[in-house]
Amino acid sequence: MAALPRLVCASSVVLVVWAGFCSAVCVEVPSETEAVQGTDMKLLCISCMKREEVTASTVVEWFYRPEGGKDEPIYEYRKTNHEFPSRFSGRLQWNGSKDMQDVSISVLNVTLNDSGIYTCNITREFEFEIHRPLFTSSRLIHLTVVEEAGEDFTSVISEIMMYILLVFLTLWLLIEMVYCYRKVSKAEEAAQENATDYLAIPSENKENCAVPVEE
């Protein structure tokens, strides 16, 4: 039963992505903020560009800040990928797109110590004929790593509503069956009473009941 809400969620994500491709519009979707220990976690960072601003050079910087600590660089993209020595050494993977609108990274085999604040800084230098403007943007991801996956509130509500619907449909089916059974029983009783009344009529009366034929 728990797979149904996840299927609905997955279908919603597919529809959003499909709509984005069809309309040629970049959608800045926020990143998930909870990961399960031992799994891979994609830190989603999307920074959309306008169509007339596609020609640009992009620099991406990723930072990690533990609780009560300071920001430390962990990953950088500056024409090439570069991973800084840190607690994530060997566990970071670039997941960015070719057009540099999606500049996400993945943390492989996350641990409880990976909880904290991740910062994604994007710097773009647009290449126009007259000038080269510089724009910066930033995304913060508050990641929490848990030992086991737990059902979220939405999944619980979805399951409860599904069970209520099943009970309602079952009761409705039972009511329909009882109604149909009574209707058929009354029809059979009426037919049986008509047959009994007909048999109870004397023979001479039955002959009189015949419809006269006009010559």
List pLDDT tens digits, range 60-91: 999 999 988 999 999 999 989 999 999 999 99
- The answer to whether the CB of 119 falls within 8 A of the CB of 71 is yes
- The answer to whether the CB of 55 falls within 8 A of the CB of 66 is no
Alpha-carbon distances, residue 26 vs 18, 30, 53, 101 (angstroms) = 11, 13, 13, 8
Residue 193 contacts by C-beta under 8 Å, 6 or more apart in sequence?
A: none
User: Per-residue pLDDT tens for 155-201?
Assistant: 678 778 888 988 988 998 899 888 888 888 888 887 787 777 666 66
- The answer to whether the CB of 43 falls within 8 A of the CB of 120 is yes
Q: Between these two residues, 112 and 131, which has the higher pLDDT value?
A: 112
DSSP-assigned letters across all residues of 66-78: -TTS--EEEEEEE
6 pLDDT exceeds 60? no
Residue 183 contacts by C-beta under 8 Å, 6 or more apart in sequence?
A: none
Q: Between these two residues, 166 and 213, which has the higher pLDDT value?
A: 166
d(CA 7, CA 4): 5
* Average pLDDT of the chain to the nearest whole number: 80
User: Per-residue pLDDT tens for 118-129?
Assistant: 999 999 988 777
Sheet holding 134-146, edge to edge: 34-36, 134-146, 116-126, 56-65, 72-78, 80-83
pLDDT of residue 201: 61
- What beta strand segments (E) does the chain contain? 34-36, 41-43, 56-65, 72-78, 80-83, 92-94, 105-107, 116-126, 134-146
| pLDDT over 90 percentage in the chain | 40
Q: Which residues pair with 102 in a beta bridge?
A: 46
Topology adopted by domain 27-148? Immunoglobulin-like (2.60.40)
pLDDT of residue 53: 52
pTM reported for the whole predicted model: 0.58
Q: Which of 34-38, 50-54, 101-105 shows the lowest per-residue confidence on average (mean pLDDT)?
A: 50-54
Q: Between these two residues, 24 and 162, which has the higher pLDDT value?
A: 162
Helix 153-200 × helix 3-23 angle, to 10°? 110
Torsion of Cα atoms, 50 then 52 then 55 then 57, to 10°: -40
The domain spans of the chain are: 27-148, 151-181
